Amino acid sequence: MEHQQQQSNDIKALLKRYLEGTASPAEKERVAYWYSTLNDQSPVSLSPAEREALGQTILLNIHRKTIVPSGQVKRKWISYAAAAVLLFAGTGGFMYARYHRTAPLMFVHTEVGSTRQVVLPDSSTVVLNAGSTLEIPAGFGRHERNVALTGEAYFDIRPDPAHPFRVHHGKLTTTVLGTAFNVRAYPGDENTKVAVVSGRVQVEINGTAIRRFFLEHHESLQYDIPGGIALKGREDTARIGQWQRKVLDFNGYTLAEMVAELQRQYAVVIQLNATPDDTTHYNIIFRQEKMDNMLKVLTGLTGITYKNEKGKIIIYSKTYAK
């Protein structure tokens, strides 16, 4: 009983700091998460006046952090204005909650050239690569631990046998009890890949018939989306999730996939001129440096040529240049 009272006092003290504007960024995320679940069982009881004050403060922060110069608002976002609430803005990404009567969601997104670490309510950690989005149900952890990923992320999951952790990414679902693994599932890529650093995971491929694969330490599964082919392989764990250390590991990438990754990691526009014959898969590792230096290396290894024109990089593949 005393523990519950102390927990309630601690949470109210945190809410007080939030309302006064003295909460840290991490504390603001916790408050935003609690607020999105106030219709469910909450760790602290708020009076109607306290709840209203908290809501108004969150909305005030939203207004301050979402003002953009006129002409920069894209029309496609206007329809989301009534449903999306910005919770936290910072270097490398933003989080917002979309309220729905039955299943509110929280989103974490990273922009071009940025990464971000997220600590989930169960203390599991997720590091998002550039241009990625993680969807987290507001009720995460109470009955299930489900998230959805678009892009790439490294997961370090806290063990909880009673609540398996599931990552939904495209047609695949990766289930774990407690492990560290990397998932790559960017829209437009030919392949989705799951690689395990430690522990054991189950990967399900949804289709006309569900296929299941079990992966352990050092193992990976690469799923060819166009062909529907899944291949298990061995991985050097030192190379799994190297992007967290600013290393670009183009392991089995086509030229088009390398260009797409460069555009995610650098604030640059690249136009690739290639032909249907450009299907070669390359294995190249870069430590991130100046774009021009990387392009010079790619020129020697892949036969491309390139030029800078009006702020855009134009690349010609070896077959296109012939």
For the chain, the structural domain boundaries read 1-71, 91-243, 246-321
Beta carbons of 133 and 186 less than 8 angstroms apart = no
Are 221 and 203 within 8 A, CB to CB?
Answer: yes
What is the spatial distance between Cα 156 and Cα 55, in angstroms, rounded to a whole number? 32
β-sheet bridge partners, residue 109: 94, 133
The reported pLDDT for the residue numbered 5 is 59
Strand order in the sheet with 312-316: 269-273, 312-316, 305-309
Q: What is the DSSP letter of 76?
A: H
Interacting residues of 23 by C-beta distance below 8 A, sequence separation 6+:
14, 17, 31
The region, left, alpha or beta by phi > 0 then psi within -120 to 50, assigned to residue 298 is: alpha
Token digits of residue 93: 């990404």
pLDDT of 217 reads: 92
pLDDT at 40: 45
Residue 182: the pLDDT is 97
Return phi, psi of residue 293, to 5°: -65, -40
How far apart are alpha carbons 13 and 312 in whole angstroms? 51
Q: Which pLDDT score is estimated for 30?
A: 66
111 SS3 class: coil
Rounded distance, CA 196 to CA 52, Å?
45
CA 149 to chain centre: 6
For the chain of 322 residues, list the mean pLDDT of each consecutive stretch of 10: 59 69 70 55 52 52 38 35 33 36 72 92 93 90 92 95 93 92 93 95 88 94 92 93 93 90 92 91 90 92 92 92 60
Indicate the SS3 state at residue 210: coil
What amino acid is encoded at 89 in this protein?
Answer: A
> Considering the entire predicted model, what is its pTM?
0.68
Residue 35: how many CB atoms within 10 A of its CB?
A: 22
Q: Which residues pair with 86 in a beta bridge?
A: 96
Helix runs in the chain, H state only: 2-20, 25-36, 48-66, 75-78, 255-265, 291-302, 318-321
CATH number of 246-321: 3.55.50.30
pLDDT at 218: 93
CA dihedral 185, 186, 188, 189 (to 10 degrees): -60
Please, which residues bridge with residue 125 across strands?
Answer: 119, 156
Q: Which residues contact 300 (CB under 8 A, 6 or more apart)?
A: none
The top-level CATH class assigned to 91-243 is mainly beta
- Give the C-alpha separation, 98 to 88, whole Å: 13
